[in-house]
């Protein structure tokens, strides 16, 4: 067996620093929109924590997940990873210019509390907190009676 060639598809001439500059330009464009308040959706599951920042109409501005920060496997679902995700999103929100936020929490993962505490600790003014976790109102159909 010979050596295997790995071909990576990237834009020509984009290195790590150039990609970061491109992301900075995108954030600065959003900052020029004059948005100073928005909604933060915290989706905390057993496997991951995903936090999304939207404007008041619901259009997504930016989002961060534990996986995008480099956490892998079971470490993605920890409260520590959730707090790091919230810190990263708070920094992005400040670059965009968002200061006042409404927080909507969804899911039953272990990162709910720590993500919310990190957002509050990073200087964002939280106007309201809403729990939008889906609750089954009748459940699944039970299995038929077992006959032996």
The predicted pLDDT at position 35 comes to: 81
Q: Which residue ranges make up each domain of the chain?
A: 35-131
Q: What is the pLDDT of residue 11?
A: 60
pLDDT of residue 18: 72
- Res 12: pLDDT: 58
pLDDT at 10: 58
CATH level 2 (architecture), domain 35-131: 2-Layer Sandwich (3.30)
pLDDT of residue 148: 86
Residues of the chain below pLDDT 70: 1-16, 19-20, 23, 26-33
- Prediction pTM value: 0.75
3-state secondary structure the chain: CCCCCCCCCCCCCCCHHHHHHHHHHHHHHHHCCCCCEEEEEEEECCCCEEEEEECCCCCEEEEEECCCCCCCHHHHHCHHHHHHHHHHHHHHHHHHCCCEEEEEEECCCCCHHHHHHHHHHCCCEEEEEEECCCCCCCCCCCCCCCCC
């Amino acid at each position: 067996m010979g050596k295997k060639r790995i071909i990576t598809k990237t834009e020509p001439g984009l290195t790590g620093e150039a990609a970061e500059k491109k992301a900075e330009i995108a954030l600065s464009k959003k900052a020029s929109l004059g948005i100073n308040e928005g909604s933060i959706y915290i989706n905390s599951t057993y496997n991951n924590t995903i936090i999304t920042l939207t404007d008041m109409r619901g259009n997504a501005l930016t989002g961060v997940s534990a996986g995008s920060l480099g956490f892998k496997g079971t470490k993605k679902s920890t409260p520590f990873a959730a707090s790091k995700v919230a810190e990263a999103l708070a920094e992005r929100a400040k670059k965009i210019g968002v200061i006042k936020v409404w927080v909507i929490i969804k899911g039953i993962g272990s990162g709910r509390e720590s993500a919310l505490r990190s957002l509050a600790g990073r200087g964002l003014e939280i106007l309201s907190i809403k729990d939008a976790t889906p609750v089954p109102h009748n459940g699944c159909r039970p299995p038929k009676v077992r006959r032996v």
